[in-house]
Amino acid sequence: MPQQSTAVGIDIGGTNLRAARVSATGEILERLSEKSAPDPELVLGRITDMVRLLDAPDVAAIGVGVPGRVDAHRHAVLSGGYVNLASVALAQRLESMTGKPVILDNDCNMALAAEMVLGAGKGHDNVAMFTIGTGIGGAVVQNRRITRGRATAGQLGHITVDVDGEVCACGRRGCVETTSSGTALGRHIARAGLSPDVTVDQLFARDADGDMKARGILEAWARPLRAAIDTTVAMFDPDLVLLGGGLGLAAHRALGHAPALAPWYQCPVQPARLGDDAGVIGAALQALLAPASTSLSVQPGRARRAVLVNGIPASGKSTVSRGIADRTGWPLLALDTVKNPFLEILGGADREFNRTLGRASYQVIWSLVGDAPADSTFIVDAWFGFQPRQVLEDHLRDAGVQDTVEIWCHAPGEVLAERYGARLGERLPGHPGAAYIPELIELAKRAEPLRRGPLFDVDTTQPIDLDAIVVWLRAAMAGDA
């Protein structure tokens, strides 16, 4: 099987810089880390060094999660807090160095994209996430799409919890970042007169032993976070609120000292599952979709999506399509499924009529897609090379399909010939017969995928890992997350 593409994902934090080479299914293949710094040029230098070390022939793209306000569509860092990269042309410099496409997004958006595909957000449509670290990041998914507003919505770390509180890096006072981040926890510890070496785990241990000073620190840290969570629930009514980042698990535990009190704004709160890996995984998975769109989650919210399961006859695409449909519940439209009832009723037909019927059935498929509710996802099983490429593009435009991903199914011509010949007795009159087999063998030599957007290659002579395909597909749809 041809080697699948990987991507380099980078997560820029106030304390650490993390980078990893990640597979299309979200597996970390190689990782590196460096200390962060307030100097943007120093940070950029360390990032470029890590990218050089991780770059490989199979790396297709690079994704970078950046703290602060990011306009993902324009590849622009607008502002930052503890690490402000607004002054450096981050994407352009990485692209110039590697010759590979680079996407930027807010670091919490990247982490939430990973959690939606592989972590605690999987199976949910509406999720809010706080990442608790040096600062506090935030991201919101509604109807499986990242909420952006004009560009930078989701800055949950800047929900005001004390109008007379500490001055925040954003210029306002009393943002939850000033009360409930890792940096804020250090201030609470210092104000209580404890050593700066005291860890949050030690605070929990002291609290369990009845130490009221430790309990007071944990309450001062957790109560404003609870207020910010309640505000987020009131605004977005999510299925779930996740707490991620290096201190996400500790923050979740500390909320035991600050239970939700408002009956209107109750919502499950859970720790994220992917820990410090979420940022690099999400950045890499989003980068792998760069050929389809500059960013996974900036597409208009009303577009339909299509999974194009492509391959010539007998390539195994129907088996793959049914497996995907069984696992996802997405509706499956197959060319033969539309065409065969007409052949049954009309009886036998010559090959030219079969081709005409195929073109009509192809149009029927896209008409059905176009009549479906917006935001629908369809699996379309067809050999897309049987008509000119522009015919497909016209159908996609008319059906309102903006995003496509492709599953390319293939096998050597001799294998296809054997499969096709074995099923001749099952095929309705009107389908090409045994005389088509030599043509099929030649077609197998020159057939190519569409390469319209993200591509997953399936050699159907090998065992087909449908679960891996679905994980990849959900990653591909995560920007529609």
Q: In Å, what is the CA distance from 442 to each residue of 96, 341, 466?
A: 41, 29, 28
Identify the CA nearest to 103 among candidates 54, 60, 64, 51: 64
Residue 240 β-bridge partners: 127
Q: pTM to 2 decimals? A: 0.63
pLDDT digits (tens, 9 = 90+) for 153-172: 999 999 999 999 999 988 89
Whether residue 324 contacts residue 469, with contact meaning beta carbons closer than 8 Å, is answered with: yes
Domains and CATH numbers, the chain: 6-110+280-288 (3.30.420.40), 123-271 (3.30.420.40), 304-480 (3.40.50.300)
401-410 and 304-310 as β-strands: parallel, antiparallel, unpaired?
parallel
pLDDT over 50 at 302, yes or no: no
pLDDT digits (tens, 9 = 90+) for 22-70: 998 899 999 999 999 888 889 999 999 999 999 999 998 999 999 889 9
pLDDT digits (tens, 9 = 90+) for 440-475: 899 999 899 988 888 899 999 999 999 889 888 877
3-state SS, 392-404, equals HHHHHHHHCEEEE
Whether residue 222 contacts residue 258, with contact meaning beta carbons closer than 8 Å, is answered with: yes
Whole-angstrom distance, CA of residue 407 vs CA of residue 471: 13
pLDDT at 349: 63
Whole-angstrom distance, CA of residue 403 vs CA of residue 299: 8
pLDDT at 258: 92
pLDDT digits (tens, 9 = 90+) for 322-334: 999 998 889 999 9
In the chain, the amino acid numbered 182 is G
Whole-angstrom distance, CA of residue 165 vs CA of residue 162: 5
pLDDT at 295: 33
Q: What is the sign, positive or negative, of the torsion defined by CA atoms of 181, 185, 191, 192?
A: positive
pLDDT digits (tens, 9 = 90+) for 66-124: 988 998 877 888 887 778 888 888 888 888 888 888 999 999 999 999 999 899 998 89
